[in-house]
């Protein structure tokens, strides 16, 4: 899955960039921007331009990138770490609507105001674009705008999958779907490890899945007891993918 909000997901078929030669492909070390997704839509010259208007920034763990309903001044590209996006109720109940992983964008809906709050889960690196500069950049590139719109549609579809999960799935199904989803997303950005990193806290997972921290913990321990997963520091190793898919299948 991916990030909800004005953010863009890594696209399904994209392969991580391995460029070491100029700007021929996306996300090389010379570039600040990191794209596993918008790839196909960008020419190398365009990427250079995008890079020129970007500004790399380090964000310490637990700091806020932007707040819900604040004026949307920036568009972000996450290059390292994990960002949580959430909405809250006045009494403090919180729903995390997505986790942004490296390669994901925030604020791409280009709305006037942010629809969610974005906080760094761990130490995060981002590329920041002034919204106005980004708008200028996008304007006059109809193919890009078109691509952006396609992405938005994809985001919407993912949000609807999450609605199905929140409204109709059991705790175990939620956890299974979450783990499989995180695995897919990390695989996409080049993590070949069998172990799925889970940098976010149990509370974050609970708030993402509409559960409590205790239920998340219990469900994970049960899956571990049944040898479906192995719990390791800051992550989970998936042992029985079949069994997980049985619960978590879309």
Partner DNA sequence: GCGCAGCATTGATCTGCATCAATGCGGCCG
Partner DNA sequence: CGGCCGCATTGATGCAGATCAATGCTGCGC
Rule CB under 7 A: which residues touch DNA?
A: 170-172, 201-203, 210-218, 220-221, 231, 233
Sequence-distant (6+) residues with CB within 8 A of 202 are 213, 216, 217
Do residues 59 and 123 make contact, with C-beta atoms less than 8 angstroms apart? yes
Give, as ranges, the residues between 3 and 32 that touch a copy of itself (CB under 8 A): 4-6
Look at the block and give the residue holding tokens 């696209």: 11
Residue 169 or residue 218: which is nearer to a copy of itself going by CB? Answer: 169
Cα Dmax for the chain: 56
Chosen from DNA, a copy of itself, none, partner binding at 213 (C-beta under 5 to 8 Å by type): DNA
Q: How far is the CB of 215 from DNA (least distance, A)?
A: 3
63 binds a copy of itself (CB under 8 A): no
The number of C-alpha atoms within 13 Å of 151 and in the hemisphere containing its C-beta is 29
The rounded distance, in Å, linking the Cα atoms of 195 and 60 is 25
153 binds a copy of itself (CB under 8 A): yes
The rounded distance, in Å, linking the Cα atoms of 79 and 81 is 7
Sequence-distant (6+) residues with CB within 8 A of 79 are 32, 33, 34, 56, 102, 103, 125, 126, 127
The site for a copy of itself, by CB under 8 A, has a size of 44
| Strand partners for 7 | 106
Chosen from DNA, a copy of itself, none, partner binding at 63 (C-beta under 5 to 8 Å by type): none
149 binds a copy of itself (CB under 8 A): yes
φ/ψ of 185, rounded to 5, equals -70, -40
Q: Residue 241, exposed/middle/buried by CB under 10 A (0-12, 13-18, 19+)?
A: middle
The rounded distance, in Å, linking the Cα atoms of 182 and 11 is 14
Q: Of 54-62, 162-170, 193-201, 219-227, which part binds a copy of itself (CB under 8 A)?
A: 162-170
Residue 7 or residue 220: which is nearer to DNA going by CB? Answer: 220
Give, as ranges, the residues between 163 and 192 that touch a copy of itself (CB under 8 A): 163-164, 166-169
Q: Compose the 201-240 pattern: x for residues touching a copy of itself by CB under 8 A, - for all others.
A: ------x-xx------------------------------
The rounded distance, in Å, linking the Cα atoms of 76 and 228 is 36
Chosen from DNA, a copy of itself, none, partner binding at 217 (C-beta under 5 to 8 Å by type): DNA
154 binds a copy of itself (CB under 8 A): yes
Enumerate binding residues for a copy of itself (CB under 8 A).
4-6, 87-90, 93-95, 97, 109-111, 115-116, 139-140, 142, 145-146, 148-150, 152-157, 159-164, 166-169, 207, 209-210, 249
């Amino acid at each position: 899955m991916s990030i909800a909000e004005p953010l863009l997901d890594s696209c399904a078929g994209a392969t991580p960039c391995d460029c070491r030669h100029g700007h021929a492909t996306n996300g090389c070390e010379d570039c600040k921007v990191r794209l596993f997704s918008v790839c196909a839509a960008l020419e190398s010259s365009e990427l250079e331009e995008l890079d020129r208007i970007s500004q790399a920034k380090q964000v310490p763990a637990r700091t806020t990138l932007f707040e819900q309903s604040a004026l949307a001044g920036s568009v972000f590209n996450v290059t390292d770490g994990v960002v949580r996006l959430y909405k809250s109720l006045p009494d403090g109940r919180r729903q995390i609507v997505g986790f942004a992983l490296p390669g994901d964008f925030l604020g791409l809906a280009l709305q006037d105001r942010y629809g969610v709050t974005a906080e760094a889960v761990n130490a995060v690196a981002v590329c920041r674009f002034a919204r106005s500069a980004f708008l200028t950049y996008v304007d006059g590139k109809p193919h890009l705008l078109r691509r952006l719109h396609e992405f938005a549609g994809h985001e919407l579809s993912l949000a609807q999958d999450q609605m199905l999960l929140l409204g109709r799935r059991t705790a175990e199904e939620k956890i299974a779907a979450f783990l499989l989803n995180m695995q897919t997303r990390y695989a996409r950005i080049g993590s070949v490890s069998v172990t799925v990193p889970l940098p976010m806290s149990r509370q974050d997972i609970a708030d993402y899945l509409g559960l409590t921290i205790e239920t998340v913990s219990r469900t994970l321990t049960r899956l571990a007891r049944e040898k479906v997963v192995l719990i390791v520091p800051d992550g989970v190793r998936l042992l029985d993918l079949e069994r997980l898919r049985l619960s978590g299948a879309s």
